[in-house]
Structure 1
Amino acid sequence: MARVLVVDDSPTDLAAIRKMLESDGHEVVELSEGSNALETVRSTQPDCVLMDVVMPGMNGFQATRAVSKDSATQHIPVIVISSKSQDTDRLWALRQGAREYIVKPIKQADLLAKIRAVLEG
């Protein structure tokens, strides 16, 4: 299936997302902070990035913007995953370059459907 980079500072969320993705056959790469996101996306060239918003240092909006604006990584779709459920948060994520937005708690069926959608174009 796909190689998915998951950027989230919560070990609990990382473990839950990893389980959801691996049960569907995806390869998972994990990163616990946004500040290394662009470098990691460049080096691993994942098929998709799942990006948390609230993280220390560089937040997910900033990291999404960096990935979506970089010529070496802009083709890689970013799905923002956040506990922030306001329409303004979703719109801001999309303005930063995210292709999709998922509100926590994550439902496995929703997550897998959104990944399929961004991978299919």
Structure 2
Amino acid sequence: MFGKAPAAPTTARSSSVADLLDGWPDTAAAPATDESPAADTAATTELPAVERDIPRFRERRRQPRGSVPDGTRVLIVDDSQTLVAMLRKMLDQNSYETIVATDAETALASAFDDPPDLIFLDIVLPGMNGFEALRRLRRDPRTKEVPVIMISGNEQAVEQFYAQRIGADDFMKKPFARSEVFARIEGLRDEAGFLHRRTSGKIGAPVTPVAE
């Protein structure tokens, strides 16, 4: 009698999402053959939930946050080099074109000369403050329709109220997360992805983070 052939070695399979992503779709079951009836059953067995979700995860990862047309111009007005660098990196990575001003006077000159599509405007600035800068933006026909998101580290709610009263479109309190930045932008987009002034709703209201 011939002895039984040794069983084919099995390969341990990781269940982590990272390993599944790296191996997708190479980890799919091999096609069934006439010589391996067990493969028919394996091929028809429903995949674990984590594997079924992999295409969805990948699709979400490909979608840019707060997606707008490439080259959308954003003016960042803040005297904090750290905040400017952080915000600029977030936007540059998502195909925005960024312009920076560290004071209100420079920001106004830039905005009037070539109006941006969106302005992030700090309230506390050297010289003219953000509120006065916002008033001037709203009075000038070249910039009165440019969306403005005001930012501040001050916890007083009166700043948020006043910002809305004189024409801000949204408000973010420092420090803010990347997800909030793009959620605020998302709230100003139309169906085509272009940015517009807010027509309703309270600024600074809680937001739902944009999926990565």
Shorter-chain TM-score bucket reads over 0.9
1:118 maps to which of 181, 185, 188: 188
Structure with the bigger percentage of strand: 1
* 1:50 and 1:78 in contact (8 A); partners too: yes
TM-score normalised by structure 2 residue count = 0.55
Identity %: 36
Matched with 1:98 is 168
Deviation of 1:95 (Å): 1.4
* Pairing of 1:74-89 with structure 2 (within 5 A): 74-89=144-159
1:23 maps to which of 73, 81, 93: 93
TM-score normalised by structure 1 residue count = 0.93
Matched with 2:139 is 69
Q: Distance in 2 between matches of 1:62 and 1:82?
A: 15
Highest Rg: 1 or 2?
Answer: 2
Once the two structures are overlaid, the 10-residue window that deviates more, 45-54 or 110-119, is 110-119
- Which segments of 5 or more consecutive residues in structure 2 lack a partner in the other structure? 1-69, 191-195, 197-212
Equivalent residues, number:
121
Structure with the bigger percentage of helix: 1
How much is the aligned-residue C-alpha RMSD, in angstroms?
1.2
C-alpha spacing 1:6/1:25, structure 2 compared with 1 (3 Å) = same
**Larger RCO (alpha carbons 8 Å, 6+ apart):** 1
- Which segments of 5 or more consecutive residues in structure 1 lack a partner in the other structure? none
Deviation by residue 1:93-116 (Cα, 9 ceiling, x = unmatched): 111211000000121111111122
* Deviating 4+ runs (over 3 angstroms): none
